[in-house]
Chain A
Amino acid sequence: MLAFLARRLLGAVVILLIISAVTFLLFFAVPGNEVAALSCGKSCTPAIMEGIRHDLGLDHPVWQQYLTYLGGIFGGRVIGDNACNAPCLGYSFVNKQPVWDTVVSRLPVTVSLAIGAVVLFLVFGVGLGMLAALRKGKLADKISMAFALLGGSMQIYVMAPFFLYIFVYSTDLMPRPSYTSFFVSPLDWVKGLILPWICLAIIHTAYYARLTRSSMVDVLNEDFIRTVRAKGLTTSQVYGKHAFRGAMSPIATILGLDIAVLFAGAIITEQSFGLVGVGQLAVNSVLASDLPMMMGVVLLAATAVVVANIVVDVVYAAIDPRIKVS
């Protein structure tokens, strides 16, 4: 087990290093003068530009810049006149603040979005899938799967304006989506995010509903269910205790891997609803050519995905000893 963990961690580190190197190289495919010019601002003179180039270390060879960047992540570094504490992902060209600080300040919004959506689509997705599996072939099954198909085909950026129009602008049923910290007011936290949660849930429910259904159907056909039934357990015990557990393991796997999908979705969700999270930060930094911010967001997102994958692998291996851990 420990060997497995060590190997995975090493693999993860290698992956992250590769990603950081590729990101670094590609972003600096933009000529260096452009980089300095982007950071310069209104009254730019060649002297100020030279100063910026020097501060950012752009006059060093690329490999050296990369190493400085990596070093900064672990130990902090000094850029120009400012000290940048570990983990230092550079200074944003736009707001002149450390990238790390800005990303961290936006994180709660994205995380809140993910949490609410996950809860909703797990509950409804699994519920719908179970219903469909138990009533296989009947009307309930057909309707559930039809809903799953329709929901799964929705696009957030199409749904969002319609939902906003129907629930917010023309009827005032719900407040405009906004973020209030859970710790400040849980009620406002829910009220402000419920609309984006519902939209995200509708789209992802489809996938989990279908997955649960097929997984449940598989499990229900297995021999051990017949045995358990023959032993005299009630229907609910059969379904609840035994079938359910068997059906859940693929779902757990998928959920872990879905972190990447959720984050990708966050970008569009935040843009569609006007929420200020990491996704919106990513979009704005691309549109503003804020290179340090772009790199920071990509690196952090990749790290989150890699860590999530490791956690899922470990948990899966711990639960199910049948799985080969190499």
Chain B
Amino acid sequence: MSELLSTELSTGGIVDVAPAGSKKPPAGRSPGQLAWRRFRRDKAGIISGSVVLFFFLVGLGAPVISWLYGKDPDTHYGADRPGLLSDTGIPLKPNGGIDGEFWFGLEPKLGRDVLMQLVYGIRTSLLIALVVVAIVTALGTVIGIAAGYLGGKADYFIGRLIDVLLAIPSTLFYLAFMPVALALFIAPGKEAPVWLRSLSLVLVLSVFGWTRIARLLRGQVLSLREREFVEAARVSGASSRRIILKELLPNLLTPILVVATLDVPAMVTTEAALSYLGVGMVEPTPDWGRMIHDGGDYLTTDITYLTFPGIALIIFVVAFNLLGDSVRDALDPKSHR
């Protein structure tokens, strides 16, 4: 998913002016507080933010949900208990076996609980995506600022590195290098522990994912570098480190935050896509993307198996995109709407 990144930076804060005749003195607000106020007034932003928060709570609170609901994602309810699945593994009750005990129905063949699979699948995909976004944001920020600030040779080489990475279409890159990453860590014939597999996945996704933010920040730093306040800081003897941390970084927070917000759904869908293709997380780790893939086989016999994870993913992405828009508007009202 490509992105629109045409934001201009906003400057400083605004002083709120009290209506004439009131007794309260004018209160100053920091840019952060103003952004938050703007965000609060954006209804779409609040709703989408709540939806996103809901997903995070579901994913992170999966064990709690499991405890409350009384089921877990690994037990083969349908296979062990006769009468739930037909001989060929399809849930006997209509709509995929939805009933009072299995709220979202049963998985064909093995008979695991769909609600639990989905909740834990969301958890897997979210956790991996969050880790990757944290890494690429940090990495991309460092590299982008270095390229923009240092310029010259460093900039040139980083630019070429980015060109090389971007020359390979991303999905193909992940597809091709996942088995390599796995082979590096695991001896053939051994079972790959889950943490090792997720580590490889995070590694591969991170190697590629930092380029967008690096490029963006490079551009921003290049233009900021020539601005007066940076000149002023330099003239007054500030070290490079101080300039970067105190002058540049605060002004870069907006694009960093916007890109990070939009990176999360991108990473979730990328991880889901990889699992769909078969190179992401494998059984028995529940996974959002793999569930959708498996669901495609049961279109005519058990369509709810596909519907729940599929619709959930769409809602998640829509909400996150809306949130990203609202965040951008809140931070930088000069951008077009």
- Chain B binding site: helix, strand, loop or mixed by DSSP? helix
Chain B 1-35 interface residues, beta-carbon cutoff 8 Å to A: 1-2, 4, 6
A150 at the interface (CB under 8 A from B): yes
Closest residue of B by beta carbon distance from A305 = B167
B50 at the interface (CB under 8 A from A): no
A228 to chain B, nearest CB (A): 22
Contact residue among B2, B163, B276, B336 (Cβ-Cβ distance under 8 Å from A261): B2
B23 to chain A, nearest CB (A): 38
Q: Given A19-B164, A19-B167, does the pair A294, B176 have CB atoms closer than 8 Å?
A: yes
Contacts of A165 in B (CB 8 A): 299-300, 303
Q: Given A19-B167, A267-B172, does the pair A161, B183 have CB atoms closer than 8 Å?
A: no
Q: Given A15-B160, A26-B180, A152-B1, does the pair A268, B276 have CB atoms closer than 8 Å?
A: yes
Chain A 252-311 interface residues, beta-carbon cutoff 8 Å to B: 254, 258, 260-261, 263-265, 267-268, 271-272, 282-283, 286-287, 289, 294, 297-298, 301-302, 305-306, 309
A118 to chain B, nearest CB (A): 14
**B336, A214: Cβ atoms under 8 Å?**
yes
B235 at the interface (CB under 8 A from A): no
In the complex, per-residue mask of B296-320: 1 if CB is within 8 Å of any chain A CB, else 0: 1001100100100010011001100
**Number of A-B residue pairs having CB atoms within 8 Å of each other in the complex:** 138
**A298, B314: Cβ atoms under 8 Å?**
no
Chain A 18-65 interface residues, beta-carbon cutoff 8 Å to B: 18-19, 22-23, 26-27, 29-30, 34
**A267, B299: Cβ atoms under 8 Å?**
no
Tier of interface size on chain A: 35 or more
Contacts of A154 in B (CB 8 A): 314, 317
B293 at the interface (CB under 8 A from A): yes
Cα–Cα, bound, A43→B176 (Å): 28
Q: Given A161-B296, A305-B168, does the pair A267, B277 have CB atoms closer than 8 Å?
A: yes
**B306, A161: Cβ atoms under 8 Å?**
yes
Closest residue of A by beta carbon distance from B265 = A153
B329 to chain A, nearest CB (A): 13
A224 at the interface (CB under 8 A from B): no
Contacts of B276 in A (CB 8 A): 157, 268, 271
Contacts of B6 in A (CB 8 A): 214
**A155, B273: Cβ atoms under 8 Å?**
yes
Q: Given A161-B295, A169-B300, A214-B6, does the pair A153, B317 have CB atoms closer than 8 Å?
A: yes
Contacts of B178 in A (CB 8 A): 286
Closest residue of B by beta carbon distance from A18 = B164
B285 to chain A, nearest CB (A): 18
Closest residue of B by beta carbon distance from A258 = B2
Q: Given A207-B2, A217-B336, does the pair A155, B166 have CB atoms closer than 8 Å?
A: no
Cα–Cα, bound, A30→B185 (Å): 11
**A153, B177: Cβ atoms under 8 Å?**
no
In the complex, per-residue mask of A204-234: 1 if CB is within 8 Å of any chain B CB, else 0: 0001001100100110000000000000000
Contacts of A282 in B (CB 8 A): 172, 175-176
A201 at the interface (CB under 8 A from B): no
**A149, B318: Cβ atoms under 8 Å?**
yes
Cα–Cα, bound, A161→B304 (Å): 12
Contacts of A173 in B (CB 8 A): none
Cα–Cα, bound, A101→B169 (Å): 21
B179 at the interface (CB under 8 A from A): yes
A164 at the interface (CB under 8 A from B): yes
Cα–Cα, bound, A254→B2 (Å): 9
Q: Given A150-B318, A161-B306, A305-B167, does the pair A264, B172 have CB atoms closer than 8 Å?
A: yes
- 6 closest pairs, A vs B, by CB? A264-B171, A153-B317, A264-B169, A158-B310, A161-B296, A263-B169
Known: A157-B289, A286-B176, A306-B167. 16 other contacts (CB 8 A): A15-B160, A19-B168, A27-B180, A150-B318, A153-B321, A154-B314, A155-B273, A160-B296, A170-B300, A267-B277, A271-B277, A272-B296, A289-B179, A302-B167, A302-B168, A305-B167
Taking Cβ atoms with an 8 Å cutoff, the residues of B that contact A are 1-2, 4, 6, 160, 163-164, 166-173, 175-180, 183-184, 188, 265, 269, 272-273, 276-279, 289, 292-293, 295-296, 299-300, 303, 306, 310, 313-314, 317-318, 321-322, 336
A-B contact pairs, 7 of them (CB 8 A): A157-B272, A214-B4, A258-B2, A268-B277, A287-B279, A302-B168, A306-B167
